[in-house]
Amino acid sequence: MKESWRWYGPLDRISLGDVAQTGASSIVTALHEIPYGEIWPREIIAERKAGIMAAGFDWVVVESLPIHERIKRNDGDLSGLFANYRQSMANLAAEGIKTICYNFMPLLDWTRTDLAAPVANGGSCLRFSAPKMAALELFMLGRSAAREDYSADVITAAELWFRASTDADRAELMHSVMSGLPGAFERYDADGLKAALKRYEGIDRRALRAHYQRFLEEIIPAAEDLGMRFCVHPDDPPRDILGLPRIVSAADDIAWILNAVDSPANGLTLCAGSLGANPDNDVPAIVRKFASRIWFAHLRNVRKDVDGSFEEAAHLSGDTDMVDLIAALLQEEARRRASGDKDWEIPFRPDHGHELLDDAARNTHPGYPLIGRMRGLAELRGVIAGLSYAGTPAS
């Protein structure tokens, strides 16, 4: 497997020199400074790639080439947005960058309520608290329909939290929820979020699927022509939030997506943490079912609570059997290699590490500390080495 590292370019407080010391060989990045919907100019792509190569890396995956919210809403004449997207694809392909990770989550990207929840042995992690999210929806946004989305116990806990919270607590909650949008050019307060949600009124699961299928039909043929691989990132969390449907949360969703436009160019980013937050998902089984269409992997782990809350666990100690999952990916690599596929290696990156030691002082993007991810990478590297030495017996 190809070790990679997510790097936010000029926005990142972790330098490529720092990344080199982790042992990772490849970079996953994007032009986060370019507003959604605009063309990524080839010269800027080339400049970013040259800097990455000068530091001793290759740019192995784009994460992400964002999809404009109007496309997700199927709002108005989208021909210009689709044309811009295809031109950005062509410019990336011209520079030899041919794997694109993206998501189709409406309005928000990954969502957490706490950016620095304490970890038992020291350090902190990202956490999604169902009661806090319910408090945001019910009592800060006034979305009464949210009562149908949470259990009675969670709603009671949400009300208790809200009554005890200060204005600063509520502001911190809103900041945490907004922090999953690196590079996005919009951040919302409560009133702004209400207005943004209003634009999604009437868009249910069936409608969002139809909008997504249109995106795939517009983009995947271009990807085929360019020799590119698209790989959708699962929803995080894998459940509806804020009344917005999430349609990439389980094996049935993935099957629908891959069949909607049945092409090798239409693939999956295997995110172990996102899928692992759904108690109904058997993540290693999902890997084996869709292995031939997995072009990229995010390896992280979560620990779930019965009320729907979850938090980032250490990479090898959460609810998902990471050793079995990696074994499944190595088996797929072996199959590709035996079939003569020259591009058989699956790039992966350690995802959402704990903040450890002096990580907090760096003030990096939430979930993307240096030391915590380096620990995760070292653990994953050890599992890969051990399974490879043992011959990765089939499960």
Positions annotated as catalytic residues are 233, 271, 298, 351-352, 368
3-state secondary structure of 165: coil
For residue 390, what are the contacts with CB-CB under 8 A and spacing of at least 6? none
Q: How far is CA 296 from CA 122, 268, 270, 381, in A?
A: 31, 7, 6, 16
3-state secondary structure of 339: coil
The sheet carrying 310-313 orders its strands as: 114-118, 124-128, 310-313, 301-304
Cα angle 377-383-388, degrees, rounded to a multiple of 5:
125
3-state secondary structure of 287: helix
Rounded-to-integer distance, Cα 318 and Cα 311, Å: 9
C-beta atoms surrounding 60 within 10 Å: 23
Rounded-to-integer distance, Cα 91 and Cα 88, Å: 5
Which phi and psi (to 5°) does residue 55 adopt? -85, 0
Element holding 226 (H helix, E strand): helix 205-226
Element holding 125 (H helix, E strand): strand 124-128
Residue from 144, 40, 141 nearest 92 by CA:
40
